[in-house]
Amino acid sequence: MPPAVDSPRVVNISDLRRLAERRLPRAVFDYIDGGADAEFTLRENCRIYDDVILRPRNAVAIPQCDLHVTVLGRRLELPFLLAPVGSSRMFYPRGEEAAARAAGAAGTAYILSTLSGCKLEDVKAASTGPVWYQLYLLGGRDVASGAIERARRAGFSALAVTIDTAVSGLRERDVRNGTKELLGPSTWARLPFLPQFLARPRWLAGFLSDGGLMSFPNVLIPGQGPMPYADVAAALEQSTVSWPDLRWIREVWQGPIVIKGVLTGDDARRAVDEGAEALVVSNHGGRQLDGVSATLRALPEVVSAANGRAEVLLDGGIRRGSDVVKALCLGARAVLCGRAYAYGLGAGGGAGVARAIQILRADLVRTLKLLGCASVGELDRSYVDAPPAWLQYK
Q: Residues with Cβ < 8 Å from 194, sequence gap 6 or more?
A: none
Cα separations (Å) of 103 from 100, 132, 220? 5, 12, 27
Sign of CA dihedral 367, 368, 372, 377: positive
Calpha distance 351→313 (Å, rounded): 26
Calpha distance 357→141 (Å, rounded): 36
**What does the chain come to in residues?**
394
Cα separations (Å) of 189 from 89, 229, 269? 24, 17, 48
284 in catalytic set: yes
Residue in 94, 284, 333, 355 annotated catalytic: 284
Select from 108, 104, 121 the least CA-distant residue to 79: 108
Which uninterrupted H or E stretch holds 330? none
Calpha distance 141→247 (Å, rounded): 12
Calpha distance 73→362 (Å, rounded): 25
Calpha distance 85→13 (Å, rounded): 17
Q: Residues with Cβ < 8 Å from 269, sequence gap 6 or more?
A: 305, 306
- Number of helices (H), then strands (E), belonging to the chain: the values are 17, 14
| Residues identified as active-site | 284
